[in-house]
């Protein structure tokens, strides 16, 4: 009966030149990581490619000595594969680039209730990006946008809460969307419809 060696020991052994230690790590986590990737991309060949790319990044990081062992090898590897999955969706136009057209609708990005796994990953990334973008807006525009998007307030409610007319609230929302569009274009940010 073979004694189960901790991931951290295998990582250390690999970093010290034992190639078999990496093989053991890959074999140990192959099924779980492959299942995770496949659940997102639903394609065997793409799963294999992302799996291999994941371990190529792992190898490069370990060989450079940039890995800090904190007993979290598998979560670290899963995060790498998660990022590669997002890259895959973006590269393959499954996450189309926003081209700055006038029919850009911020609500379509954040209001999709029934998402499959692929869309959930993309939506989570977009939500993070959108939060950072909104922080760049002037305070009055940010306030109106947040009330409208995150608190689902009507323009009448926004008007009452901010002490401005409905037209001013509408104008601030309009300028917030225009400014978001400019920030998206300037930073070449990828959003989905």
- Per-residue pLDDT tens over the stretch 42-77: 889 999 999 999 999 998 888 888 888 776 888 889
What φ, ψ does residue 112 adopt, rounded to 5°? Answer: -85, 110
Determine the pLDDT at residue 34.
92
Domain end point (choices 61, 91, 121): 91
Question: Is the pLDDT score of 150 beyond 80?
Answer: no
Q: Is residue 85 part of a domain?
A: yes
Determine the pLDDT at residue 154.
85
Residues 110, 62, single domain; the answer is no
Share of the chain above pLDDT 70, in %: 80
Q: Are 191 and 110 spatial neighbours (Cβ–Cβ below 8 Å)?
A: no
Determine the pLDDT at residue 52.
92
* pTM of the shown model: 0.49
Tell me the per-residue pLDDT of 99-140, one tens digit each, with 9 for 90 and over.
444 555 555 544 444 456 666 777 777 777 777 788 888 999
Residues 53, 117, single domain; the answer is no
Domain end point (choices 91, 119, 142): 91
Question: Sign of the CA dihedral 59, 64, 65, 69?
Answer: negative
Q: What is the CATH number of the domain that holds 44?
A: 1.10.1740.10
Question: Is the pLDDT score of 152 beyond 60?
Answer: yes
Number of domains in the chain: 2
Determine the pLDDT at residue 117.
66
What is the Cβ-side half-sphere exposure of residue 175, based on CA atoms within 13 angstroms? Answer: 15
Tell me the per-residue pLDDT of 88-103, one tens digit each, with 9 for 90 and over.
888 876 554 444 445 5
Q: What is the rounded CA–CA span in Å between residue 100 and residue 188?
A: 10
Residues 83, 111, single domain; the answer is no
| Domain coverage including residue 82 | 7-91
């Amino acid at each position: 009966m073979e004694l189960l060696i901790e991931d951290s020991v295998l990582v250390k052994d690999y970093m010290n030149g034992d190639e078999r230690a990496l093989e053991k790590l890959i074999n140990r986590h192959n099924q779980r990581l492959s299942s995770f990737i496949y659940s997102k991309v639903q394609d065997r060949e793409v799963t294999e490619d992302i799996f291999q790319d994941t371990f190529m990044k792992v190898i490069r990081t370990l060989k450079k000595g940039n890995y800090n062992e904190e007993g979290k090898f598998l979560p670290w590897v899963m995060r790498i594969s998660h990022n590669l999955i997002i890259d895959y969706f973006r590269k393959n136009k499954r996450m189309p680039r926003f081209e700055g057209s006038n029919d850009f609708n911020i609500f379509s990005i954040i209001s999709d209730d029934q998402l499959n796994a692929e869309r959930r990953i993309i939506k989570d990334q977009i939500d993070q990006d959108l939060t950072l973008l909104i922080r760049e807006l002037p305070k009055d525009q940010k306030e109106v946008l947040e009330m409208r998007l995150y608190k689902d307030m009507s323009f009448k409610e926004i008007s009452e809460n901010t002490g401005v007319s409905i037209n001013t609230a509408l104008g601030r929302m309009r300028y917030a969307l225009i400014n978001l569009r400019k920030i998206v274009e300037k930073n070449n940010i990828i959003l989905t419809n």
